[in-house]
Amino acid sequence: MSKWFGLADCNNFYASCERIFDLSVREKPVVILSNNDGCVISRSQEAKDLGVPMGTPLHKIKPLIDKHKIHFFSSNYALYGDISARVMNCLNDLCPAVEVYSIDEAFLDLSIIKDEELLPFGINVKKKIAKWTKIPICIGIARTKSLAKLANRYAKKNFKEVGVFVIDSEEILLKTLKETPIEDVWGIGRKHGKFLKSEGINTAYEFTQLPENFIQKRFSIVGLRLYKELKGEPCLNLTEVIEKKKVIQHSRSFGRYVQSINDLEEAVTTFANKCAEKLRSQETCACTVSVYIRTNPFSNKPQYYDGITMNFDVPTSNTFEIQQKVLWGLKQIFVQGYDYKKAGVSVMGIVGKEEIQGNLFAPEPNENSQKISQLMDKINAKFGKETLKFAIQGTNSVWKGNASKISPKYTTLWEDLLRVE
């Protein structure tokens, strides 16, 4: 049986999520802003057509927003994450096997679909996702994952109405490769794209015509796999099991400058809690934790940056233990007199619970505090994030980011459920 891969990609995902519940912005230009309402991180097609650049600070496009009445929203990751889960669950129901690649993309194993049924199957999946979730998607189908990526891009650019494109012949493959700029190929990146263009390689097709020994010499094994995949040789299989993270980090730029260590303690303990929750959710423990604080490098104020890394006697996912280390570390690096703009906590050296090696000289683990952490996880999962939290995290944190235009959490917060009258 021949192998077929699909790539389902949600169109303008964050903007599309906002449009599900807010009918007033459907078919209107929409942009989504990053934390602290800083830069543009998502645009509707209408906003793209108006020339709104990706990554541009909000203040630089204010005239464009005012002129064209562009709607803008603060990022609402609770909503986006929940809608993403719904889309992925629908894909799992419709397809034989699914690999979630990112919040808005998933690879599909379509091996059991007959060749002549690939296009109608893809169209059916697209229609059902739109009906069940109200999220528009495009699907690219090909013999390899890399070609499925190319097919998806081609569908978005050249087959917007259908939204599905299948590379099922040598003729179509050559046409797609020749019409794909080298910098738009999945896995090439800016650095390699610049190098290849300097060598006269401007399209995906020209890349596939290079000698294999040139690829081996100039690129890593990843580049060689990409080269073979673009030539139609599958090198990447579908991964249905999500790999556990090797490093977990939580950080944030503050909505305003923070001067006191008490406010910084609120921030870093919040980040430490999130790291501990993530460790427990993937049934792992961390050997090391680090904390850092910094001022705003783009301001004219006095600058300061420092961080510290600390080891645990025994790997842990216990919130209390991680908090204590982080608070101790913060006191070592904090210097009075600076306006702090960002802080972060990372846990590293992550191992599975069954891989933990004991330490004869370490104190016995506090089972009660671990049970409390697990109980808090269950309560917060059922009733919403931070339903239960530690007093040190504060109740009116001054460090939290600006989100002046955030939409309601329609699907994850009881108070924000839509009301029909």
Helix axes 367-383, 319-333, angle to 10 degrees: 100
- Are the C-beta atoms of 139 and 164 separated by less than 8 Å? yes
Task: Report which of residues 312 and 375 the model is more confident about.
Answer: 312
Average pLDDT, the chain: 88
Q: Residue 170 falls within a domain, yes or no?
A: yes
Same structural domain, 98 and 26: no
203 & 308 share domain: no
Distance CA 77, CA 84 (A): 10
User: Residue 306 falls within a domain, yes or no?
Assistant: yes
**CATH code at 44?**
3.40.1170.60
Same domain, 205 and 336: no
Say how far apart CA 68 and CA 31 lie, in whole Å: 12
Give pLDDT tens digits for 318-342: 999 999 999 999 999 999 999 999 9
Q: Same domain, yes or no, for 381 and 260?
A: yes
pTM score of the predicted model? 0.79
Whether 53 is covered by a domain: the verdict is yes
Instruction: Looking at the structure, tell me whether residues 216 and 253 fall in a common domain.
Output: no
Q: Which amino acid is at 386?
A: E
Q: How far apart are CA 150 and CA 173, in angstroms?
A: 10
* 123 and 145 together in one domain: yes
Q: In angstroms, rounded to a whole number, what is the distance separating the alpha carbons of residues 349 and 391?
A: 29
pLDDT of 364: 64
The reply to whether 295 falls in a domain is yes
Q: Both 71 and 92 in a single domain?
A: no
Is 403 part of a structural domain of the chain? no
Backbone angles phi and psi of 174, in degrees to 5:
-60, -40
Average pLDDT over residues 246-260: 89
Q: Which domain, by its residues, includes 327?
A: 248-393
Q: Reply yes or no on whether the pLDDT at 1 is more than 50.
A: no
Position 55 pLDDT exceeds 50: yes
Strand-pair partners of 74: 33, 406
In a domain, 226, yes or no: yes
Q: Whole-angstrom Cα distance, residue 250 to residue 277?
A: 11
Q: The domain spanning residue 319 has which CATH number?
A: 3.30.1490.100
Same domain membership, residue 116 and residue 188: yes
Q: Are residues 216 and 322 in the same domain?
A: no
d(C-alpha 315, C-alpha 352), whole Å: 9
Q: Which residue has the higher pLDDT, 309 or 384?
A: 309
Q: What pLDDT is stored for residue 356 in this prediction?
A: 63
Is the domain of 29 the same as that of 96? no
Nearest C-alpha neighbor of 129 from the set 191, 193, 98, 86: 86
Tell whether 96 and 209 lie within a shared domain.
yes
Question: Around Cβ 45, how many Cβ atoms within 10 Å?
Answer: 17
Residue 32 lies in a domain: yes
Given a cut of 60, whether residue 141 has pLDDT beyond it is: yes
Residues in the chain: 421
Residue-wise pLDDT for 65-121, tens only, equals 899 999 999 999 889 999 999 999 999 999 989 999 999 999 999 989 999 999 999
- 104 and 224, same domain (yes or no): yes
Tally of structural domains, the chain: 3
Structural domain contains residue 177:
yes
